Amino acid sequence: MPVNIAPLDPAALLPIAGVEIGIASAGIKKVGRKDTTLFRIAPGARVAGVFTLNRFCAAPVRICQGYLAAGHEIRALVINTGNANAGTGVDGMQRAQAICAATAVELGVEANQVLPFSTGVILESLPADKIIAALPAAKADFSASNWAEAASSIMTTDIVPKASSTQVQIGGKTVTITGIAKGSGMIHPNMATMLGYVATDAAISQPLLQQMLKYAADHSFNSITVDGDTSTNDSFILIATGQAGNDEIVDANSADFAALQAAVLQVSQFLAQAIVRDGEGATKFITINVEGGASYDECKAVGYAIGRSPLVKTAFFASDPNLGRILAAIGYAGINDLDVDNIEVRLDDVLVAINGGRNPDYREEQGQAVMNKAEIAINIKLNRGEHKATVWSCDFSYDYVKINAEYRS
């Protein structure tokens, strides 16, 4: 069961002026399952994306990268579940392009203004004809209030839909940010995650939108892990429709940029953490705070070494304060000049390890009390610099094996 995710309240999801969403059933894996989601974006909006670094990236990822790099004005997103269109070669590219072309005809735009996204099984041929046949129904469903429905329709092994909204004042105008994401397994994003979409009505220049997206990705989706497997289809898209009426943000050092970035980050972190809380088989939500590092990257490497260690994750599943496994993971995180005698490790506020060994005052029952909780922080001080990073992870349970041994994801 997901760890501490409040049920989605559709009324709390705020529409974004300039974004409409329609949903349909193409019958990709199951007849009647809502598996196709169409976004229509008003003219003049700006769109930025970051994508998986997996070399076996899916056909739709390659197409998105190409269209965004060429600077085309993006007018639509079309998303399917049930098939990743990855490991599908030239044929997969042609099928994704056919979907873009059909969507363009449906909406009266150009094919290179449509970004395609797929998620599901790898190495199987995408039934593009079914998706194309569902496009009119998706168009007929267009509404600015369909964010909750979209959060559900992009799910695969997810148990709960993931969505969040916030508002912030920018230059005297109320700016709204709403986002959705999906993901539960094959979660170890590298540059982005398994389908995240955040939209705002703020006006912001294209380079700053890209900069903001990169920052938000690094500190949200690029800071989580469920199983250490980096997907072929990770995509994170930030849309700015510019309809809030604020003066366009063009200065990365301005208060407006900072305010919008904080709000985008808030929504992105909520979504990324929701993916971990809904991680396959998860029973615990683990926050790994690493500070005192010589660089952000080394802090993150330590966080990820702990967060993806099967031994750490099974110990947390068992609520077993077998904390030597955390030290072992820190030790193999790849910091070759790490002086372990300077490290402090705390479980929540309980000091476990110091001076290269166990804190003499630490008592097993203190660790046990923390391990019994569903939300646990591992707090690490490297004491060798001023940088810090946070990684979010979950435990590793029988159900992870069950889900991945029994489900063809």
Q: CA-CA-CA-CA torsion for 1, 226, 11, 200, nearest 10 degrees?
A: 180
Cβ contacts of 142 within 8 Å, gap of 6 or more: 20, 21, 22, 38, 40
What is the closest distance, in whole angstroms, from the C-beta atom of residue 115 to a copy of itself in the complex?
Answer: 21
Q: Check the annotation: does 280 bind a ligand.
A: yes
Q: Check the annotation: does 404 bind a ligand.
A: yes
Catalytic residue check, 193 = yes
Q: Measured from the CB atom, is 39 or 317 closer to a copy of itself?
A: 317
Looking up tokens 């849309």 gives: 239
What is the closest distance, in whole angstroms, from the C-beta atom of residue 304 to a copy of itself in the complex?
Answer: 12
Q: Measured from the CB atom, is 143 or 355 closer to a copy of itself?
A: 355
Q: Measured from the CB atom, is 27 or 228 closer to a copy of itself?
A: 228
- Tokens at residue 393, please? 């992870």
Q: Measured from the CB atom, is 75 or 188 closer to a copy of itself?
A: 188
Q: Check the annotation: does 409 bind a ligand.
A: yes
The b/e string for 243-258 (b: 16+ C-beta within 10 A; e otherwise) is bbebeebeeeeeebbe
Q: Check the annotation: does 233 bind a ligand.
A: no
State the Cα–Cα distance between residues 65 and 329, nearest whole angstrom. Answer: 35
Q: Check the annotation: does 156 bind a ligand.
A: yes
What is the closest distance, in whole angstroms, from the C-beta atom of residue 125 to a copy of itself in the complex?
Answer: 8
| Candidate list 88, 157, 176, 193, residue with the active-site label | 193
Residues that bind a copy of itself (CB under 8 A): 53-57, 84, 86-92, 121-125, 185-186, 188, 190, 227-232, 308-311, 314-315, 317-318, 320, 322-325, 327-333, 335-336, 338, 340-341, 352-353, 355-358, 396-398, 400-402, 404-406, 408-409
State the Cα–Cα distance between residues 348 and 376, nearest whole angstrom. Answer: 6
SS3 state at 357: strand
Are the C-beta atoms of 3 and 19 separated by less than 8 Å?
A: no
What is the closest distance, in whole angstroms, from the C-beta atom of residue 332 to a copy of itself in the complex?
Answer: 4
Cβ contacts of 195 within 8 Å, gap of 6 or more: 79, 117, 119, 154, 181, 182, 183, 233, 234, 235, 236
Q: Which residues are known catalytic residues?
A: 193
Query: Per the annotation, where are the binding residues for substrate?
Result: 156, 182, 193, 280, 404, 409
